[in-house]
Structure 1
Amino acid sequence: VPNWVTYPFILSGWVYAFAAFGWEGLGWSLLGTVVGLLLLMPAYAIGGMGAGDVKLLAGVGAWILFQHTVNSFCVSAIIGALMAVAMVVARRAWKKHQDQFWLILNEIMVIKSPERLAEIAAERKPRMLLLPYGIPIAIGTIGYFLWMGMLV
């Protein structure tokens, strides 16, 4: 997700929170931004996610405040998992990706250096089936709002 989308998204969330709820609202919005960053930062640190996806969830946090950011993230993670499974099944590559999943999980458990994990991920990336995670974030956030009855 490009910076020209994510930065205005984050900033406009802060401006809205301040305009609608004053300093307290801005504080909650800033906290939501930090929560959004922290939720995806580990995946980014080891090369499993792009910076734009991390900033997109930070923008979600800026708008919906921290109270709903974690829930929105959980729904987004479920959507992302379903999309990933659908992509693998559509390519008829279940065994390959199952082996890859266990290899990556093992690397995370054994290799404690985020820098080394990021290097390994960068080497593997050209051969992998990639899911643009901004899509599950958007669908998951909208889905969460629909589920909670928060969309008119």
Structure 2
Amino acid sequence: MTVQVTNLIDIAVAAIVIISVYTDLKERKIYNVVILSGVLAGLLLNLLNDGSSGVLFSLKGLGAGMALLFIPFVLGGFGAGDVKLLGAIGAMKGTVFVCKAFLATGIAGGVLAVCVLIKQKRLFATLKRIGTSFLVLVTSVFKVNTLKNLDKAEFHESLPYGLAIGIGTLAAYLVG
């Protein structure tokens, strides 16, 4: 039964991630009904697999996944759908997997962001602004800065981070 449940969890992760990446790319939105389905699938399948320990496993993964993107979300760097998607992945696959996916997502997101900036011919201007913002942050200890200054002010398009989460999740599967 454990192998069958594990396969169902992997299918659920694939479905949730594929749907979320598609809707994020097409509509710039990750739907709550998709996320909730993933969380419920994780809770139910892990319950079937390991009883109350499985539910705890899911809840820890959900919390870890959401916690990893919470501060960047509060600072304006990510949308709520991105936070919830990583949480849903954690609910299905657990804390260790979601941490691996998060690290791979960061790398994928950085590569995708550089590609977008190169396409927009704004890479050097953005690096200069980031450097300036860093200096302002370091020199003004009591000032609260957000990431909002860095994103949409000069850009014609933004990065749908669901794609980076999808790539990061795939990478976490490949790493094992």
The TM tier, using the shorter chain, reads 0.7 to 0.9
Amino acid at match of 2:118: V
Q: Work out which of the residue numbers 72, 75, 90 in structure 2 matches 1:43.
A: 72
In the TM superposition, what are the counterparts of 1:97-136 in structure 2 within 5 Å? 97-106=126-135, 110=140, 117=146, 121=148, 125-128=152-155, 129-136=157-164
TM (norm. structure 1) is 0.83
Shift of 1:40: 0.2
- Cα RMSD, aligned residues only: 2.3
Structure 1 position 4 matched with structure 2 position 42: no
Shift of 1:103: 4.2
TM (norm. structure 2) is 0.73
Q: Work out which of the residue numbers 131, 136, 144 in structure 1 matches 2:172.
A: 144
Residues 39, 92 of structure 2: 8 Å contact kept: yes
Cα distance change on mapping 1:29 and 1:94 into 2, 3 Å: same
Q: Work out which of the residue numbers 82, 92, 99 in structure 1 matches 2:111.
A: 82
In the TM superposition, what are the counterparts of 1:1-80 in structure 2 within 5 Å? 1-80=30-109
Cα distance change on mapping 1:123 and 1:71 into 2, 3 Å: closer
Shift of 1:125: 2.7
Q: Residue 8 of structure 2 corresponds to which residue in structure 1?
A: none
In structure 1, how many angstroms separate the alpha carbons of the residues matched to 2:137 and 2:41?
A: 36
Residues 107, 117 of structure 1: 8 Å contact kept: no
Structure (1 or 2) with the larger CA radius of gyration: 2
Cα distance change on mapping 1:77 and 1:124 into 2, 3 Å: closer
SS of 2:77's equivalent in the other structure is coil
Give unmatched runs, 5+ long, in structure 2: 1-29
Per-residue deviation, residues 89-114 of structure 1 (Å, max 9, x unmatched): 12221122112323444565547676
Residues 108, 117 of structure 1: 8 Å contact kept: no
% identity of equivalent residues:
27
Shift of 1:147: 2.5
Moved more, 71-80 or 92-101: 92-101
Residues 18, 24 of structure 1: 8 Å contact kept: yes
Aligned residues: 145
Residues 9, 59 of structure 1: 8 Å contact kept: yes
